[in-house]
Copies of this chain bind each other. A is one copy, B any other.
Amino acid sequence: MPKENKTVYPILGLLNHKNMTGYDIKKRIDEEIGFFWDIGFGQIYPTLKYMEKEELVTNRIEASDGRPNRIVYSITDRGREELKKWLMVPAEKEYVKYEILLKTFFGNVVSTSENIKRIEDFKSRNQGNLAMLKGFKENLLEVLDYSDDHMYYLLTVMFGEKVHGAYLEWADEAVAMLKSKEEKRE
């Protein structure tokens, strides 16, 4: 999904809260944003440089001994403007690639039991995600009043919960259908 570098926006959004290094940014993305928008180091560091050139951020270098110096980025006024501008335009269409559905679509090429196995694997893989999201939600509910931001974080977690819940429901129904098909065959 090229054209217009979206990577700048999560970075701007995070820097709008507090100054951070690329490494810090990566950590927060992994913890809270990664489940709907993942970004790797290989994108963060070059993007930060680009953003500096565009005067969306500035940085201050903190000397470190032993390890590389910390480069702490701060958002500029221009950066804040860009962030706001982006937030005012409607969100683009969801971009998804579901290999599980691609394989299910062509499922008839292999045995019914092979399909069941695959879907059960999908289910167990996503059960962990749902549990994680639920834990996350509980924590957020506790600190909901401390900041207006928390409600927005909660909304994203609620989304994750709903969608992952839908995954599991589907997996159960799908396996049930396939099993009843297997029985008819006997």
| Contacts from A to B (Cβ < 8 Å) | 1, 6, 9-10, 13, 16, 32-33, 36-37, 83-84, 86-88, 90-110, 114-115, 118, 121-122, 125, 148-149, 151-153, 155-156, 158-159, 162-163, 165-167, 169-170, 173-174, 177, 181
Contacts and interface: CB of A to CB of B under 8 A. Distances in A.
Given A91-B103, A109-B83, A162 B170 contact: yes
Contact of A90 (B1, B110, B118, B151): B118
Nearest to A125: B93
Contact of A87 (B83, B86, B106): B106
Given A13-B105, A151-B177, A36 B87 contact: no
A53 B39 CA distance: 34
Given A151-B181, A170-B162, A118 B106 contact: no
The CB with the most chain B CB atoms within 10 A, among A109, A118, A153, A170, is that of A109
How many monomers of this protein are in the complex?
2
Contacts of A99: 6, 37, 91-92, 94
A159 B105 CA distance: 11
B91 A122 contact: yes
Question: 6 shortest A-B CB distances, which residue pairs?
Answer: A13-B106, A91-B100, A162-B166, A107-B152, A95-B97, A166-B166
Contacts of A153: 105
The CB with the most chain B CB atoms within 10 A, among A105, A108, A114, A118, is that of A105
A55 B86 CA distance: 47
Contacts of A156: 101, 104-105
A94 B91 contact: no
A181 to B, nearest CB: 7
B1 A105 contact: no
